[in-house]
Structures are given as C-alpha cells and as structure tokens.
Amino acid sequence: MTTDVASGPGDPAEPPANLAKLNANIARIEELTQRLVHALSQRRLPDPGVEAPGPDLFADAAAAWWTEMLENPGKLIEAQVGYWGKALRHYVAAQQALSQGRTEPPAGGDPAARPARPAADRRFANPLWDSHPWFNFLKQQYLLNVEAVESAVAELRDIPPLERRRIEFFTRQIVDMMAPTNFLATNPDALERALETEGESLVRGLENLVRDIEANRGELLVTLADRDAFKVGENIGATEGAVVFRNRMFELIQYAPRTAKVRARPLVIFPPWINKFYILDLKPANSLIRWVVDQGYTLFVVSWKNPDAGYAEVGMDQYVEEGYLTAIREVKAITGEARINAVGYCIAGTTLALTLALMKKRGDRSVASATFFTTLTDFADPGEVGVFLTDDFVDGIERVVAAQGYLDRVFMGRTFSFLRSNDLIYGPAIRSYMMGEAPPAFDLLYWNGDGTNLPARMAMEYLRGLCQANGFARGTFRICGETVSLADVTVPLCAIACETDHIAPWKASYAGIRQFGSRDKTFILAESGHIAGVVNPPVKEKYGYYTSAAPIGAESAAWKAGAAHHRGSWWPEWIGWLAKRSGRMVAARVPGDAAHPVLAPAPGSYVVEAPAA
C-alpha cells in the first residue's frame, strides 16, 4: 500500500527555485558562448597599423627616460624609493585592517601616501571604495600607480611636442584601461549587482556583449543607446520636409515652411558625412533645423550617401563638384534666387571653405555668406585627434582602405570614442557587460552609434593633403583643378567654435578663420564641446557663449581676453547675423517645383540605408 504525500518546497522531488534559475542561466551561458565564438570568428584580421601606435613611440619614450635617469641617477632612486615606500605602507595598513576584521580603512595615515579621489572621478563613487579596506587598498594603489606613471612621462626631456602629446595620450589610455573598475573581480558595483540578482546581471551582461560583437562583425563596439527607442523619421529626424533632388552623392531635403513669410535668400546646411545629418534634427525641442525654419527661412539640408566599396574612387573633387556645387545650383533653381547662404559643420565646413575658395577662382558669387560650425582649416595644431594623424596610423589606414574601398564606420566610431574613453568606452561597457543594464534611451547617443563610412580616396586625400600636409593653410591644396588657399575665402562669414571641443579645438579653428580673406568676419565661442556646444537650443539655456569686439586678426588669446560672456544659446546671436544677409521677407515656399518634384518625404532614404557589410 502506498500513500500520496504532497511535495513541499523542500522536497527533493522539486528542485529549489534558485537551483532551477541557476540551471537555466547555465544553459543560457552555454548558448551565448557558442554565439560569442561564432561572432568573434567573423572579425576581419586587423592591420596592426590601425590598432595601436607604432612601437617606435614608446621605444623613443623609454630611451628618453633612461637617458634622463642616467644623467641624474638620484632622480631615479628618489622616484623608486618614494613609490615603493607608499605602496608598502598601503599594503601593511590594508593587511592589518583585514586581519583585525575591520570593515573600514585605517584612520589617519600619510596624506601623501593616500591620494584623495578627484571629486569628478565617477569611477570611484561607490562608498565601498572608501569604507572597505580591500577596495580602498585597490583604489589607492591604482592612484599611486597612475601618479608614478604620469610623473615618469612628465620627466621626459628633449621630446618634440607632438611626440610628447602622443606619449601622454596613449599612456593615459593604458592607465584608464587598467583601472580596477574595469574588472569584474575588483568592481564592487558589479559584484553587488551579481549578488542581488543571483548572477542574472552577469548573464544579461554576456547577452549584451554578444549582441554588440554580432552587430559589428566581430569588433567590440559598445552600444551607447537603446536601438529600439528611436526611429529616424518618426521620433527623431522628423521635421516636415521633402527630398527634392537626388544624385549618387546626396539627397537634398527642403523643409516645409512653418511661417507665412520667409527670408528671400535660402539657407543650405552641409552636415559632415562622417556622421548623419539628423544630429541637427533630434527631438523637436533641440532641433536646430526646426528652429531655423521657425525663424522664417527656406531651409535646405544635404543628406549624404553612406558609401560602400563602389565609392572607392570618390574623392574631395567629387564631394565639391557633385556635392556642394550641385546642391547650390539646385537650391538656386528651386527658389529662383541668384545667391544663397551656406552652413558647413566640421569636415563639411572644411570642404565648404575649399568650395568657396574654388568659386573665388572661378568667379562664381553664388554664396552670399557662409557659417562654419566647429571647423578646422589650418591643421598645424589639430588637438587630440592629432595623435592619430601620424604616419604609423595613416599608413595603416591607407592599407585598409585600399583593400576594402572605404574606411569602415566601426574604425571611425572607435577612434573618436578613445578621445573620451572613460565616458564612451569603459563606463558604458561596465554598465552593459558587468551590470547587465540595457542602454539608455538617449537620442544623442543613438545618433553617435549610427555611423557612416568614408570613401577610400576621399579619406586619404583628407588625411594626407589636409591634415598631414596642411595644404589648405599652406596654399598647396588642389581641388577640381585649382590650387587654393585660405586667403581665397572672401565671403562674409560667421564661425562658431566650442570651448572644450576635442575634435576641432577652438584655438585651431580660430587660427584658420584669421587667415581667410574675408573682410566681414564674426567669431562666436560657445561653451561645451563638439556636439553639445552646437546642439544648444535657447529653451534650455544650458551653455553660454562669448563674443568679442577684438578684431579676428588678433591672436586667439587677445580675442578671448576681450570677450564678453553671454548666458544662453548662441543660436539667436547667429540668426540675427544671418538675417542681415538674407534679404526681404517673401511668401513662404513649399518644397520643390515643377522641375524638382517631391521624391520622398523627409528625412529621405539615404539616411536610413544600412551601411556596407
């Protein structure tokens, strides 16, 4: 005879819920591991020239350091004794605290041996970095190591300025990479999350890692924003308009009027083709495109084609002839105006300046005024980006584009991310892969991850002729059969640079504007960086700007010394400048005309095409 007994939660016949969850997670890890191995196998064999600086850089740095130490051995002894003394004191203090079961770091101590965490260093925000002796020891030892490395680099003598900048930059990359926060076993936030979720956060993190590697064909590029939160043309890039012209280089978008009257002279914006144009048309509240239309302008924007290998032979000449000059011609035809106003952003500003110089040579006066957003034309000092513009990197890029026909968007995105590695690489990687968090729904970061390729010829002409040879500033650069210089740009102009721009440093931007041949020059210095300083709508009043009565011919320091600070966005200042050069008010224009029928609603097809595989 048998008796049925109901199984309780502790009955061996029914595994505990946490055991079932563990088994399910193990199965997920096995499946994800297989996907990870397959995704990594898709990665192209990298060219060492684009992965890291050439070995000569640190060999020269080491030689310079040893030369200095041999000439002054006392300095070497002092540095070594100081470092090891601090490290040993930290080790002993941490061991004592742990052996006595204390959960706080030892009180007092040598302030010099325990460097304070910088207030802005968000990596060490968790209280355990200060309250737990083990984590406190890791943090302080890391900061001591950073101090020692930075001191060694600072002691280098007889190093050319560019080489010193490169050594400092790539040393900082190594130092940032080795932070204890970047490793699971030494990151208290990640360990706490793993305990709270019974390991679920680590499984989600592995899912995020596999997803990113699969999406980038074997390369690791952290997803910065929720890819499902936005759709171009619906909740971003959605200002009403139409594509009214298309060729192999670009689609021309004319935006629908939002006022009964508009300025007679139309405005065309040339955005950079390194990224997509809708950075100027994110959500309605921060859309420069929508705001300009609201001010009563007939606005056109160029949406560039995202090139594949079929564009390998497209160079700067084609961008000028088939891009800029064609767009200007079509805008004039659609509006019936003899002259237009133009805006160029970043590399598109550089190329707008080349176009204007060419037009000067040809006697073409179609552009009445030009505005430059964060534009470099004199590359004598390109700032932080300059560390990637030496032959060891550029030679590698040349080999890669010769084989592929284009410079891959992944390389571009990764390179710019390293300029702010803690914010754009390590921080997001920790949240995604260690904490298992989903990327945020942030429109600016979504755009940042929506990259584009560069044609092979154009990329090399830009890197060799403009960046390395500085041909435009030296008057040796040839475009469409003409040799042009900065002095050939003579139209009235307004230039906006950004105070903390790490891609187009404001002083370098100012240096190029100084050399333009224009008599009518206005310079505006916006607060913040390359993107946030430009996308700064008046409603937020987040960042201010500077204007100066000093002549643009003065040095940048003199200009800044005489500058006045203004609260709020620079947009109204610029639009006031533009209004004086835009003619009378006329009846608003609808997109297109009989010869330019509407081809598609804005934002068009080029901006949403999948990049080349």
Active site residues: 346
Amino acid at 573: E
Please name the helix (run of DSSP H) or strand (run of DSSP E) that holds residue 107, with its range, or none: none
Angstrom CA distances, 48 to 42, 52, 55, 162, stand at 18, 7, 10, 21
Nearest to 445 by CA among 278, 231, 610, 223: 223
Amino acid at 273: W
Spatial contact of 394 and 295, defined as CB atoms under 8 Å apart: no
The 8-class DSSP code of residue 406 comes to E
Nearest to 611 by CA among 473, 409, 419, 402: 409
DSSP labels for 252-277? Answer: EEEEPPSSSEEESS-EEEE--TTS-G
Instruction: Write out the two tokens for 124.
Output: 């060490």
Angstrom CA distances, 460 to 225, 313, 402, stand at 31, 11, 10
Please name the helix (run of DSSP H) or strand (run of DSSP E) that holds residue 330, with its range, or none: helix 326-335
Residue with tokens 């042009």: 484
Measured between alpha carbons, how far is 405 from 402 in angstroms, rounded to an integer?
6
Measured between alpha carbons, how far is 586 from 39 in angstroms, rounded to an integer?
57
What are the φ and ψ backbone dihedral angles of 525, each rounded to 5 degrees? -110, 110
Spatial contact of 91 and 123, defined as CB atoms under 8 Å apart: no
- Dihedral sign, Cα of residue 191, residue 193, residue 196, residue 201: negative
Residue with tokens 């190594």: 174
Angstrom CA distances, 288 to 146, 168, 237, 256, 491, stand at 42, 37, 11, 14, 23
Question: How many CB atoms within 10 Å of residue 429?
Answer: 20
End-to-end CA distance of the chain: 70
Nearest to 491 by CA among 402, 581, 564, 431: 581
Measured between alpha carbons, how far is 255 from 277 in angstroms, rounded to an integer?
14
H helices of 178-231, where?
A: 188-196, 200-215
Spatial contact of 542 and 515, defined as CB atoms under 8 Å apart: no
Nearest to 406 by CA among 454, 450, 362: 454
- Dihedral sign, Cα of residue 40, residue 46, residue 48, residue 51: negative
**The pairing of beta strand 250-255 with beta strand 299-304:** antiparallel
Measured between alpha carbons, how far is 340 from 329 in angstroms, rounded to an integer?
10
